[in-house]
Amino acid sequence: MQVTVHAVSDGHYFDDDPGRGSDPSPVEINLPDVALVLTADRGVFSSGRLDPGTKLLLSEAPPVSGSPTVLDLGCGWGPIACVTARRAPDAVVWAIDVNSRARTLTEDNASSIGASEQVMVAAPDDVPSDLTFDRILSNPPIRIGKAALHDLLLRWLRRLSPGGVAHLVVQKHLGSDSLARWLDGRGFATTRLVSRAGYRVLEVRPRGENP
């Protein structure tokens, strides 16, 4: 049996400290209603471009409007948080990630678009325990493994406000359909909002009070 061992210095994009040297670079976001140039970096998910799944989510999930409290679960360098802040200036957007470099990038990117008061960047355990969310938007970290992903999603989906909804983008070949079935079986009505280019955008709503 061949075993591949990854050196610690290679790190993963979902490590607390990505390990790799920093090499920031600009990334363009071009959506029909929002154009931004933000900064990404090595050691963070999709450091060279806006991930196509994230672009689909930002294009197809119903746009955030009004003054909701929004969670960007697994913010990376912050494209979802920054686009949401730009679209809904009265929303409060919590952007959380385990990766410390991702959090710093999101803070800096929010600041660069004048949204530092609006985008609250935090490590997951630092989010106030009584806070609930009207919307969750996420390109979740599928690669952390199924059990960890399930725990992560249950942890945060249970914090949707009454009437709240989550939109998740997941690649079909990384298990979007089985994830949808699993969520459905755990008390979350889950429908496929869009299916395109190998990605699904899932809409997830709690069925009862405490799924």
Ligand X SMILES: C[S@@+](CC[C@H](N)C(=O)[O-])C[C@H]1O[C@@H](n2cnc3c(N)ncnc32)[C@H](O)[C@@H]1O
Q: Which of 36, 47, 54, 70 binds ligand X (CB under 6 A)?
A: 54
Name the one range near ligand X by CB under 6 A: 1-9, 43-51, 83-91, 181-189.
Answer: 43-51
The answer to whether 81 touches 117, Cβ cutoff 8 Å, is no
Q: Which is nearer to ligand X, 74 or 206 (CB)?
A: 74
Residues counted in the chain: 211
115 near ligand X (CB under 6 A) = no
Residue entry with tokens 């679209």: 87
Name the one range near ligand X by CB under 6 A: 69-77, 86-94, 128-136, 198-206.
Answer: 69-77
Q: Which is nearer to ligand X, 51 or 60 (CB)?
A: 51
Q: Which is nearer to ligand X, 97 or 203 (CB)?
A: 97
Q: At 53, is the secondary structure helix, strand, or coil?
A: helix
194 near ligand X (CB under 6 A) = no
Q: Which of 74, 166, 176, 203 binds ligand X (CB under 6 A)?
A: 74
| CA dihedral over 64, 66, 70, 72, signed as positive or negative | positive
Q: Which is nearer to ligand X, 91 or 209 (CB)?
A: 91
120 near ligand X (CB under 6 A) = no
The answer to whether 141 touches 168, Cβ cutoff 8 Å, is no
Q: How far is the CB of 65 from ligand X (least distance, A)?
A: 20
The residues near 104 (Cβ < 8 Å, ≥ 6 apart) are none
133 near ligand X (CB under 6 A) = no
Binders of ligand X among 142-161, rule CB under 6 A?
144, 152
* Nearest residue to 74 (alpha-carbon basis) of 148, 185, 9, 129: 148
- Residue 193, CA distances (Å) to 36, 55, 65, 146, 202 in order: 26, 15, 19, 22, 6
- Residue 197, CA distances (Å) to 140, 169, 170, 176, 194 in order: 18, 12, 11, 13, 10
Q: Which of 27, 61, 80, 91 binds ligand X (CB under 6 A)?
A: 80
Q: How far is the CB of 66 from ligand X (least distance, A)?
A: 22
* Nearest residue to 131 (alpha-carbon basis) of 205, 210, 71, 203: 71
Contacts to ligand X by CB under 6 A:
13-14, 45-46, 51, 54, 74-76, 79-80, 96-99, 102, 124, 139, 141, 144, 152
